[in-house]
Structure formats: C-alpha cells, structure tokens
Amino acid sequence: METKNNSEKNEEAVISIKGLYKSFGELHVLKGIDLEVLKGENVAVLGRSGSGKSVLIKIISGLLKPDAGIVKVLGKQVDKINDKELRALRLKLGFSFQSSALYDSMNVRENLEFPLVRNIKNLSTKEIKERVEEVLEAVGLKQTIEQMPSELSGGQRKRIGIARTLILKPEIMMYDEPTSGLDPITCNEINNLIIKVQEEYNTSSIIITHDLTCAKATGHRMALLMDGKFIRQGSFADVFEAANETAKIFFDYNFIK
C-alpha cells in the first residue's frame, strides 16, 4: 500500500528537535540531530539496530535527558518541565512497544481497562465499556475481548497493544518496530492500521523501524539515521532514489536478498 499524500496536514510542529546530542560514556549515540513532526504527519525514522532510534523516542518522552539541544513536544521543552507537567504530557503520547507489552495475567478487556482506571478518574462503568469497545472496533478485534494474551497471534497482540494506547486518545503515537517478527501479510495489516489510526484519530506519529516496506507504506516523510545523524530526510524518493551510497546500502539490505 502506497502512502497517501498528507498535503492537508496542519503545518504546526508537534515535535521539534534542534541540535540534539546524547552520549553514554564514550559511546556517542546522537550527534546533533534536527527533526520536526508536523500535526497529522507520520514520520518514519529509519536506521540499523543500535543507531539511536530508541534513544530518540526515550528523550522525546522524557525518559532520558539530552546532553545538549532542544526537544519540544506539544510546545513544552521536555527536559525543562516539572514532574507533574511531564506526567500530563505523557498522557498525550501513545507508545506501541515492539513486544506489545500486554499483561499476561489479564485478558484483553482487562488490559484495555487498566490504563483508563489508572489515569482517568471518575469514569463510569458504562464509559469504560464504551471506550474498550471503541478501540477494539478500531483495530478489528472485538471478538477477542475475553481472550488472554497467550491465546492471541503475534499480529493480534500488536493490534491490542495499539488499542490499549489509543484508549487514552493520545495526540502523538510512537511505534517501536511495529512490524518486527511478523509475516508479510500481517505486516501489511499493521501498516494499514497505522494509516487508519492517523486518519481516524488525527494523530501525529513517529514510526521507528528498519523495515523499508513499513516506512514506505506508513510514512509521509522519512528520516534516515546513520552514525548519530540524520543523513537524509524527505519523501521515500528523496531519501532512497537520490545518489547516496549509505542510503543505497540500507535499501539493498531490505530489498535485495
């Protein structure tokens, strides 16, 4: 599935990163990167394992502090706000983890109810039930509501993980390797779901991946991270069809077997 044109998106930046550096001892992971994510935009952040993609989203969410640079999310400079403001900001960020991060001891309904009960007070039983049914409908898995995570396929667990994120109605979604470990048909289903989520929930998204098929299907824009820097940003054609040997190596790894 080709990515749809997102020309109607608002030009407001919901994530703005300038001159971001992050090191761990002598290991220099991010070396002065700049990135903007616009309202209603899906940005696919590409790179090899260990290139700093996961470090980037941890800094965006305030789990790690930058060594230098400015990181603003929804107008807030993440490393300058207090704990209360950070908790409030995180409720506007949705995380879809590579492992799906479901609680094995809870069935699907309980997994979806948990973030609501924990984060939103005074919801009625009816309101909780309606929200659970809404997100299950959105991911096409209403029939799984009483199933345990162990009874679900890998693709179903990914979908339920996305549903659990959507139940808090985030403004920004962050997907960590959403198609990792899935067969091609299920990968395509997850890609289509990411597009559907953006269109129906009007989210902005960062999609962390090394899967070019996923990036091309879901991203309005690509950002290729290599050696701690974004070496190319733009459309898929901008990044991979221009003459650049590093980008070509990454492309060939994905598509030439």
Domains of the chain: total: 1
pLDDT score, position 10 = 56
In a domain, 255, yes or no: yes
Which pLDDT band holds residue 11 (cuts at 50, 70, 90)?
Answer: confident
What range defines the domain where residue 86 resides?
9-92+220-257
CATH number at residue 248: 3.40.50.300
What would the pLDDT profile of 202-224 be if each residue is shown by its tens digit? Answer: 999 999 998 899 999 999 999 99
In a domain, 193, yes or no: no
In a domain, 248, yes or no: yes
Average pLDDT over residues 162-180: 93
Quote the mean pLDDT of the chain. Answer: 89
In a domain, 186, yes or no: no
In three-state form (DSSP H/G/I as H, E/B as E, the rest C), the secondary structure along the chain is: CCCCCCCCCCCCEEEEEEEEEEEECCEEEEEEEEEEEECCCEEEEECCCCCCHHHHHHHHCCCCCCCEEEEEECCEEHHHCCHHHHHHHHCCEEEECCCCCCCCCCCHHHHHHHHHHHHCCCCCHHHHHHHHHHHHHHHCCHHHCCCCHHHCCHHHHHHHHHHHHHCCCCCEEEEECCCCCCCHHHHHHHHHHHHHHHHHHCCEEEEEECCHHHHHHHCCEEEEEECCEEEEEECHHHHHCCCCHHHHHHHHHHHCC
In a domain, 189, yes or no: no
